[in-house]
Amino acid sequence: MQSKITSMKTEIYMMVLFLLGSNSAIGISWGVGQDNWISIILALAFGSIFILMYARINSLFPGKNLYDITELIFGKIIGKIITALIIVYAIYLSTIVIKLISEFIKIVTLVETPVIPIMILLVIAATYLTFSGINTLKKWSIFVFPIYFLILLYILIASMPEMKYTNLLPIFEHSTIDIVKASLKILSTTFIGTILFLTFEDFIRNRENPYMIYFFGFFIAMIIFIAIFLISAMVLGIPMLESSYFPIYTVARLISIGDFLSRIEMIIFFNFLLACIAKISICLSAAVKGVKCLFDNRNEGLILFILSISVLVISILGFNSIMDLLKFLDVYQIYILFFQMLIPVMIWIGAELKVGK
């Protein structure tokens, strides 16, 4: 029983790191100022529906990955089309994370360093972690998550003297429609990427409860995300929060406890770096599995090498700066709903009908 619980914790840690990743480092203003925390709670409510749907798909086809499931439900041709779309989504998501974290590294630590060498090192690290397999990813999560959580807990405690609760007032200053729109943006760009975990047939072991893993992973990530917003808003104020690319890092620079803990922002830097490497690796793993299924090619090493080079090139050529990337995210959050909502709903309905027959 103890080993089962430990295994579930590992998978939950892995999901939390994936969901937070770069999202906890970049700016978290979605156009509704101090009401952003309400939008995050609404995103939690909306997202729970999809999380339960992902878990249902997993429970209907235990031991099979998403690519096998789509072919079983829709046939070989339509199944491979859906597989290709999921591969595109995984590649796009990995390039966005690489660009975000490389710009983060450049802006906060290596100002004079060109961004391309930073990207290359990130891709090499994520490629090695991907090549090592799902069990290594889980071990990485076991190591990184406790550090990640403790650092954020320290920031919460250390920043309390600097907090101004009036920064969260007035509540419901923005219209209900704007708050709901912001929640959908948060949902699409932040928390529904968990569909990629369905591409791992060995992510959830036999006799484990997929509902608990998906729900607790999603719930913990959302609670941490709300905490990060509240800390940033109360310490920095809404105007400074909205103008900062990396608000939680800015908060870390403002706090200190004695001489020893006065440079906590460097620990924050490595914290986000380790989490983002895990997220990139999960995206690459999902893409590799998809290409294997698409072309019936079993040479994982070659596929991973080609995909890693492709992701690196897209990351370099796709965006000139972090400002370009953030402008792209405004468009990205609209069409990405096709990958995150429409396709999973189709697969879920097809799965229920298939199993029913």
pLDDT tens digits, 208-254: 788 888 888 888 888 888 888 888 888 888 888 877 777 877 787 77
Greater confidence (78 vs 259) lies with: 78
Task: Evaluate whether 328 touches 319 at the Cβ level (below 8 Å).
Answer: yes
Q: Tell me what percent of the residues of the chain surpass a pLDDT of 90.
A: 15
Q: Is the pLDDT of residue 271 over 60?
A: yes
Q: Is the pLDDT of residue 285 over 90?
A: yes
State the average pLDDT for the chain: 82
Residues 6+ apart with CB under 8 A from 332: 92, 96, 189
Highest mean pLDDT among 184-188, 259-263, 343-347: 343-347
Give the pair of three-digit tokens for residue 269. 């830097």
Q: How far from 231 is each of 38, 62, 260, 288, 333, CA to CA, in Å? A: 15, 40, 22, 38, 25
- Comparing C-alpha atoms, which of 228, 262, 233, 250 is closest to residue 164? 233
Q: Over range 133-150, report the average pLDDT.
A: 85
Highest mean pLDDT among 97-101, 134-138, 287-291, 339-343: 287-291
Tell the CATH superfamily of the 19-352 domain: Amino acid/polyamine transporter I (1.20.1740.10)
Long-range contacts of 305-309 (CB under 8 A, 24+ apart): 305/127, 307/91, 308/123, 308/126, 308/127, 308/284
Q: Over range 160-166, report the average pLDDT.
A: 86
Q: Over range 66-95, report the average pLDDT.
A: 90
Q: Give residue-wise pLDDT tens across range 33-75.
A: 888 888 888 888 888 888 888 889 988 888 888 899 999 999 9
Give the pair of three-digit tokens for residue 19. 């969901």
Confidence (pLDDT) at 333: 67
pLDDT confidence bin for 320, thresholds 50/70/90: confident
Q: Is the pLDDT of residue 288 over 90?
A: yes
CA distance linking residue 46 with residue 255, whole number of Å? 35
pLDDT confidence bin for 156, thresholds 50/70/90: confident
Q: Tell me what percent of the residues of the chain surpass a pLDDT of 70.
A: 88
φ and ψ at residue 164, rounded to 5 degrees: -125, 105
Q: Is the pLDDT of residue 260 over 50?
A: no
Confidence (pLDDT) at 1: 32
Greater confidence (132 vs 113) lies with: 132
Helix 2-20 with 264-295: angle, nearest 10 deg: 100
Give the pair of three-digit tokens for residue 27. 């700016």
Q: How far from 10 is each of 4, 114, 124, 191, 288, CA to CA, in Å? A: 10, 36, 24, 19, 22
pTM: 0.87
Q: Is the pLDDT of residue 5 over 50?
A: no
